Structure 1
Amino acid sequence: MALENPNAFKTHLVSSTDSPEFTHLTRALTRSSLVALDAEWKPTRSQKSSFPAVSLLQLACRLSPRLVGSSDELLLPDEESVVFLVDLILIPLPSIWELLRDLFVSPDILKLGFRFKQDLVYLSSTFSSHGCNLRFDRVEPFLDITSIYNHLQYKQPGRRMSKDIKSLATICNEVLGISLSKELQCSDWSLRPLTEAQRTYAALDAHCLLDIFEVFQAKVMKEGNIIQNLGDQSSLISILGLKEILEEDDLCDKIMKTRFVEAVGVVRATACSDVSREIVSEEGMVLRSQQRSSLPMGESLLNVVKKYGEKLLLKESDKKPKSSRKKGKRRPSAGLIRKERLLEISDDWQGPPPWDLSLGGNGCPKFLCDVMVEGLAKHLRCVGMDAAIPYSRKPEPRELIDQAHRESRVLLTRDAKLLRHDYILKNQIYRVKSLLKNEQLLEVIETFQLKVSEDQLMSRCTKCNGRFIQKPLSTEEAVEASKGFQRIPDCLFDKNLEFWQCMDCNQLYWEGTQYKNAVQKFIDVCKLNNITPSL
């Protein structure tokens, strides 16, 4: 599950310029003043002399209200946003190059992205390799979701903001309160046809940028930086100034109102009209035609662009893959050779684990998942396994290893460097080889021969790894127990549900739709019998 309520917007796969979906895309761009951008490509493990080819480009469009008399039959009246998945493998790239170029530099459309510079570099290289002479070299106006997140944070006086770069999943969780799965990020996007899961993942990855921006825009407006819903008025300061001047004149009301309306028209025309703006690339080519092909931005969005808008511009150095600075291979030292051999030996689990009865353990598997496999920790908890995470966000290797030893846990990681430390005890660390969380879960289950039963599913708190209380709570008891930290939805009051509470963090759970979907997911992943278990 990536985002809740995935049917709140429509998704269209564009694989041909002759398709209705392509027509829908071109018309949508004329009605959009806000477009979120994202791209997917096949991940590469080794450093190459060329950039990876982009396989999919996602365009999430926030549509402006339909104009009176519009003949756009493909856009439904109640459609507020739509996501287009442009298949760059099937569609001829020269046929859409100009459309995308105009989108990237259109002053009427604010573009959103999350660390989109790398995507732009790869897009530029991909189109260049297919005969498009001029690369994409800029996106303007542009706003990065990371910048939006920083603006949304409450800055306390005398305290510096954290410089840690948050992931998109983290930002979604903190700003929107929803969980964005990144499990398919490393899947092979060059294979066709795309799976339904890949389409959903790609669409949600782009659409969530629109939702984050909406929260940001609402906050800016609330703080008084932007005044929305001015109707026919384009500039409050200018209009109020004109009104005060006209009211001082000793004129009849009719003349005053007439002049005021005319003055407002002049102000609005000045602010919104397109003044034959042209953007010239570094090669000297005009990238912006004199005629407007899209609707102008509303006053609210225009002020956001003026105050927070950025420009994403590629330099010549960005358009070339970074080459290694090493001029020649250095002969490894004897100590490094010994550590490399130790790494090869330690990469596969030898056993027995620290919880083994022969070592004095209690037979209950216990794991410690570092930040590289933090998602695996939640999956292990969902199947009933004790899976902790480090005490601090950025622990030193020695801290990780000490915690694992102190709590008789096996440290799970994808960091091969951890295996090189001399102070690692035997059978204390295991390097997970799989990339996707479902595959990582199966790998750990098979490697450590874990026994997973249906009764164990969802028996641990996914938030803190705690155990649930033995006796379920009634609705009244759950409401009382949740006061001050968790809200029980009103729609659950008449369903006679049982609630379960974590003994450590007091988080409440109930058997709703998400619970049942999660149970079924892990039944399928772990290949258990198709019987819904009870808590």
Structure 2
Amino acid sequence: MDSHIARPAFEIHLVSSIDSPEFTLLTHTLTRSHLIALDAEWKPLQTPDQHSSFPRVSLLQIACQFHSDHRNDSVAFLLDLLSVPLSSIWHLLRDVFVSPYVLKLGFRFKQDLVYLSTTFSSYGGGGVSGLDRIEPFMDIASIYYHLQHKQKGRKLHKQSKSLTAICSEVLGFSLSKELQCSDWSVRPLTEEQIAYAAMDAHCLLEIFNVFYSKVLKEGDVLRNVSAVPSTEMNTGLRVILEKQDMHEKILRTKVSEASNIIRATASGFPQSMANIRGICSASSSINCMPMDEDLQKVVKSYGERIILKESDKKPKTSKRKSKRSSTMKVGCIEKQIVSDEDWHGPPPWDLSLGGDGCPKFLCDVMVEGLAKHLRCVGVDAAVPFSKNPYSRELIDQAHKEKRVLLTRDAKLLRHGYLLRNQIYRVKNLLKNEQLLEVIETFDLKISEDQLMSRCTKCNGRFIQKSLTTEEAVQAAKGFQKIPNCLFDQNLEFWQCMDCHQLYWEGIQYRNAVQKFIDVCKLND
């Protein structure tokens, strides 16, 4: 996959003004949505600014799912918090975040909520407090845990998977994270940033739908949660529901008020009548119709809440005994990191060091996409043996295989004394730019003949002799299926000597070759 992120098929609306049609559509969509997904983007702070010790959130993504024409539709809104006055949207977001009729989804969203809360309290103007609560809420990490726990019958650690890995496993596609660290404070946003931000929120809806279907199919909710007793259903509410000619707004307000009375009575949480009516006062902006029975049961079984304490909104301070000595130590480390970011060479494959002259790299998980790009241009690029390696494991592998370790993790540069001339911090974010950076830094010689000469799957070399169709079919038996449409095209096949993966010169191959000819400027 190249660095260009295609615009997703679902609708995306960038909301940069409360007077815009996009904002009107957002508020209208929230009146129809029982399920929304939340995400946030910000520019990381190098040093605390005068307003807050936390980053200012630049963009809030709200992906909404609603029922339309007997099917579920979805749309993603990108709320530009640098353009929209925060005081004008605070009430709307607060009401959505605590509405009992809207299930909120997120991925380890507590940190995002901390940054949102401090953004509103620091930049929202007088009288605007932070957003401190979300309920009902479901964490996608917990949803994945429930799916895998039931499927595999063993206990899994809830924090062990990234969103990219969960998307790949549950939805079958890879979620690109290349733009995660881009500068979200710069306007206008690029098309790639817009597509990335929207997909980050929308994929949460897709993962939930897989979970929701599985739970309903297995009847877990029906076994775990008993139906709401009929005694809790207010008689007046039935009468209101039966009067179809009543104005929609009045109906929603009455249903909302009656349902909140029931909720306040049945849940055991003390609420005053003023608080109950307060939730319903935003009925024109958020959905005040009760969820369907199945979704209510899912919420009751698996729903959570996020409530921030004052301590959450304060930066964590160091508890070391000697503040001065620790500050001096950190300062020394930072100077070392700055000085070691540039490549000093020579690399371990250099002939003067007894090497074979063939460049070899080890790409850690932060630049795993770069490894595939390097393989595509014929460069030996390995990845760590384990999925979550310790620094010591990376160092040992680089030493043993005489590779240069490529990373974006500044902390790894502290091990420069162990990996002398064997560690380099990649500065660019996008894979194409990273590839060019490595080619230039290490003076790599790339030719058209080298393109697609390594296995992108395992980094192995191809068998030198190309295979006939008959040989390829024999080699693929019990291992890989060759599409029937290829048999009449007189194509050449290659096979990896290590993992035995088969490749052929089809449209994808030719497109990939042309792409790297252009990226590496081989025709110039």
Compared with structure 1, are the counterparts of its residues 469 and 453 closer, same or farther at alpha carbon in structure 2 (3 Å cutoff)? Answer: same
Give secondary structure in 2 for the equivalent of 1:384: coil
Is contact 2:167-2:174 (8 Å) kept?
Answer: yes
Question: RMSD value over aligned CA atoms?
Answer: 4.1
Is contact 2:391-2:412 (8 Å) kept?
Answer: yes
1:215 is matched with 210
2:280 is matched with 289
Listed as ranges, the gaps of 5+ residues in structure 2 are 231-237, 243-250, 265-269
State the 1:125 CA deviation. 1.8
1:247 is matched with none
Q: One-letter code of the match for 1:104?
A: F
1:253 is matched with none
Given the alignment of the two structures, is residue 134 of structure 1 paired with residue 129 of structure 2, yes or no?
yes
State the 1:318 CA deviation. 1.5
Give secondary structure in 1 for the equivalent of 2:168: helix
1:455-484 Cα deviation digits (max 9, x unpaired): 433332222112234455677876765565
Report 1:421-500 matches (<5 A): 421=415, 424=418, 426-470=420-464, 500=494
Given the alignment of the two structures, is residue 307 of structure 1 paired with residue 301 of structure 2, yes or no?
yes
Compared with structure 1, are the counterparts of its residues 493 and 143 closer, same or farther at alpha carbon in structure 2 (3 Å cutoff)? Answer: farther
1:27 is matched with 28
Q: One-letter code of the match for 1:185?
A: Q
Give secondary structure in 2 for the equivalent of 1:462: coil
Q: Distance in 1 between matches of 2:441 and 2:176?
A: 25
Q: One-letter code of the match for 1:32?
A: S
Q: Distance in 1 between matches of 2:299 and 2:510?
A: 44
Q: Distance in 2 between matches of 1:277 and 1:412?
A: 56
Compared with structure 1, are the counterparts of its residues 400 and 123 closer, same or farther at alpha carbon in structure 2 (3 Å cutoff)? Answer: closer
State the 1:162 CA deviation. 4.0
Residue in structure 2 matching 1:367, options 361, 364, 388: 361
1:277 is matched with 260
Q: Distance in 2 between matches of 1:344 and 1:218?
A: 50
1:254 is matched with none
Given the alignment of the two structures, is residue 178 of structure 1 paired with residue 181 of structure 2, yes or no?
no
Report 1:204-283 matches (<5 A): 204-226=199-221, 274=256, 275-277=258-260
Q: Distance in 2 between matches of 1:496 and 1:97?
A: 64
Is contact 1:43-1:187 (8 Å) kept?
Answer: no
Compared with structure 1, are the counterparts of its residues 89 and 340 closer, same or farther at alpha carbon in structure 2 (3 Å cutoff)? Answer: closer
2:81 is matched with 88
Report 1:314-333 matches (<5 A): 314-325=308-319, 328-330=323-325
Give secondary structure in 2 for the equivalent of 1:153: helix
Identity of aligned residues (%): 66
Is contact 1:4-1:178 (8 Å) kept?
Answer: no
1:365-394 Cα deviation digits (max 9, x unpaired): 111123343332223223221111222334
Listed as ranges, the gaps of 5+ residues in structure 1 are 68-77, 228-233, 240-261, 531-535
Q: Distance in 1 between matches of 2:326 and 2:149?
A: 51
State the 1:513 CA deviation. 6.6
Is contact 2:141-2:159 (8 Å) kept?
Answer: no
1:70 is matched with none
Compared with structure 1, are the counterparts of its residues 395 and 18 closer, same or farther at alpha carbon in structure 2 (3 Å cutoff)? Answer: closer
Given the alignment of the two structures, is residue 99 of structure 1 paired with residue 92 of structure 2, yes or no?
yes
- Between 493-502 and 168-177, the greater mean CA deviation after superposition: 493-502
1:341-384 Cα deviation digits (max 9, x unpaired): 87666543232222223333332211112334333222322322
Is contact 2:341-2:424 (8 Å) kept?
Answer: yes
1:64 is matched with 67
Is contact 2:145-2:158 (8 Å) kept?
Answer: no
Q: Distance in 1 between matches of 2:12 and 2:506?
A: 27
State the 1:121 CA deviation. 1.4
Q: One-letter code of the match for 2:24?
A: T
Q: Distance in 2 between matches of 1:519 and 1:446?
A: 20
Q: Distance in 1 between matches of 2:327 and 2:113?
A: 38
Is contact 2:114-2:313 (8 Å) kept?
Answer: yes
Q: TM-score scaled to structure 1, two decimals?
A: 0.78
Is contact 1:3-1:178 (8 Å) kept?
Answer: no
Q: TM-score scaled to structure 2, two decimals?
A: 0.79
1:246 is matched with none
Report 1:334-349 matches (<5 A): 346-349=340-343
Is contact 1:41-1:190 (8 Å) kept?
Answer: yes
Q: Distance in 2 between matches of 1:80 and 1:478?
A: 44
State the 1:411 CA deviation. 2.1
Q: Distance in 2 between matches of 1:512 and 1:13?
A: 39
Q: One-letter code of the match for 1:427?
A: N
Given the alignment of the two structures, is residue 50 of structure 1 paired with residue 41 of structure 2, yes or no?
no
Is contact 2:359-2:380 (8 Å) kept?
Answer: yes
Q: One-letter code of the match for 2:85?
A: P
Residue in structure 2 matching 1:118, options 106, 111, 114: 111
Given the alignment of the two structures, is residue 15 of structure 1 paired with residue 16 of structure 2, yes or no?
yes
Give secondary structure in 1 for the equivalent of 2:137: strand
1:108 is matched with 101
1:257 is matched with none
2:498 is matched with 504
Compared with structure 1, are the counterparts of its residues 57 and 389 closer, same or farther at alpha carbon in structure 2 (3 Å cutoff)? Answer: same
1:151 is matched with 146
Compared with structure 1, are the counterparts of its residues 311 and 433 closer, same or farther at alpha carbon in structure 2 (3 Å cutoff)? Answer: same
Q: Distance in 1 between matches of 2:510 and 2:11?
A: 25
Q: Distance in 2 between matches of 1:118 and 1:324?
A: 19
Give secondary structure in 1 for the equivalent of 2:323: coil
Q: One-letter code of the match for 2:280?
A: S
Given the alignment of the two structures, is residue 298 of structure 1 paired with residue 289 of structure 2, yes or no?
no
